[in-house]
Amino acid sequence: MTAAHPPPPAAKLSGWDAIRRGLANLRANWQLVLMYFAQTLVVTVVTVAGFLVPLFAVGLERWDDLGDWDPTSGADPWTEVLALLAELGAPFVLGLVGAAVVWFVALVLLSWFQGGFYGVLAGGDRQAIPGRPSDWRAFRTFSLTNYAGWGSRFLWRYFWFWNLFGLVLLVWVLLALGVVFGAIWGADRYGEAAAVGIGCGGALPLFFLVVVVSLWAGLAAAHLGQEGSRVGLAARDGMRVLGERLGAVLLIFLLYFVVGFTLSILMSLVLLPLTVGATFLMQEHMALYVAVQAVSYLVQIAVSGVLATGLAAVFVALVRSEAPR
């Protein structure tokens, strides 16, 4: 009696096959676009509420003092700001603490939505036959119960991953500030030509770095939706897939950029007459202006949801074809 051998791993997907597979997953689980829409609205509202907490904790009337500073008076702006903050006192500190709590809740909600989002996409890709898709219905796995279950199960892994992503972005911001201050120093020391050289010379690698970080984050987030994944493993595998399948990732990113740019132009052509007309009517019909702006914003979120869900589904297909089975 011969020993049973495990099945061989699925063949790696080409860039085009990953796109086909991701679009089939998107079509089968189109409700994820609605969940992305809900995620954007909920997280945005909670995040904005965090900014309002310090305002109401101190009192709106006391913030009017911020407008009393005269920039032509020769006073040190930092001294004026510090004096104002000291005057605001304990309510301001408590407001900052409250804002931090609200933003923590926003990140938890985002992580729950992301866990359900990628859990459903990974489940759909997992249950379909590997390789080029033959029937989009094989990817069908969405239900609110499944979504909520994956969201609860993967909440903390996405919570810590987005904290890691924020830390990486913070490093990028510090590097960008270093380039800015370097350009200012170069202008003072060697003239405008040095400032231009430092600024342009630093901007190119910074732009390249932010593209790499964005692609890495998308691939790592797709990896986190798999069973047995964790933050460190997803971060490493995301960078590994980016390096080993750079051509496929760039093809996916280029197609995403072209489609997104085309849709943004089409939306501008459709929505621009409405927004311009609402602007002229703003003084007499404020409610109409607000309604038009709200509709424009919701349409943009809906289109972004389709694009983001499609890109995530494609990345899930590509990452799963690269991961050991």
pLDDT digits 0-9 by tens, 175-189: 988 888 888 887 777
The contacts found for 137-144 with CB under 8 angstroms, 24 or more apart, are: 137/28, 138/24, 138/28, 139/24, 139/25, 139/27, 139/28, 139/29, 140/28, 140/29, 141/28, 141/29, 142/28, 142/29, 142/31, 142/32
Q: What is the 3-state secondary structure (H, E, C) of 221-235?
A: HHHHCCCCCCHHHHH
Please report, for the chain, the start and end positions of each structural domain, with discontinuous segments joined by +. 15-65+78-127+143-322
Half-sphere exposure of 52 (CA within 13 A, CB side): 6
pTM of the full structure = 0.83
Of 9-13, 98-102, 164-168, the poorest mean pLDDT is in 9-13
Phi-psi region of 74 (alpha: psi -120 to 50; beta: other; left: phi over 0): left
**How high does pLDDT run on average in the chain?**
84
Alpha helices in the chain (DSSP H): 15-28, 31-58, 60-63, 77-88, 90-127, 144-190, 192-224, 231-244, 246-280, 286-322
Q: Is the pLDDT of residue 99 over 70?
A: yes
Q: Is the pLDDT of residue 44 over 80?
A: yes
Of 130-134, 233-237, 302-306, 311-315, the poorest mean pLDDT is in 130-134
Rounded Cα distance between 80 and 309, Å, is 47
- Which residue type occupies 40? T
Q: Is the pLDDT of residue 324 over 60?
A: no
pLDDT at 6: 43
The answer to whether the beta carbons of residues 205 and 172 sit under 8 Å apart is no
Rounded Cα distance between 173 and 204, Å, is 14
Of 84-98, 104-118, 172-186, 301-315, the poorest mean pLDDT is in 84-98
The answer to whether the beta carbons of residues 287 and 4 sit under 8 Å apart is no
- First-to-last alpha carbon distance for the chain, in angstroms, is 25
Q: What are phi and psi of 32, to 5 degrees?
A: -60, -25
The answer to whether the beta carbons of residues 304 and 263 sit under 8 Å apart is no
CA distances from 238 to 37, 107, 144, 172, 235 (A): 26, 22, 28, 18, 5
Rounded Cα distance between 269 and 267, Å, is 5
Please compute the mean of the pLDDT values over residues 46-72 and round it to a whole number: 71
- Which residue type occupies 297? Y
pLDDT at 325: 47
Q: Which two tokens stand for residue 191?
A: 């003239």
Question: What does the pLDDT look like over 231-288, one tens digit per residue?
Answer: 999 999 999 999 999 999 999 999 999 998 998 888 777 777 766 666 666 656 667 7
pLDDT at 8: 44
High-pLDDT (> 90) share of the chain, % = 51
Residue labelled with tokens 């869900």:
309
The CA dihedral of 165, 217, 41, 143, to the nearest 10 degrees, is -120
Q: Is the pLDDT of residue 212 over 50?
A: yes
pLDDT at 218: 94
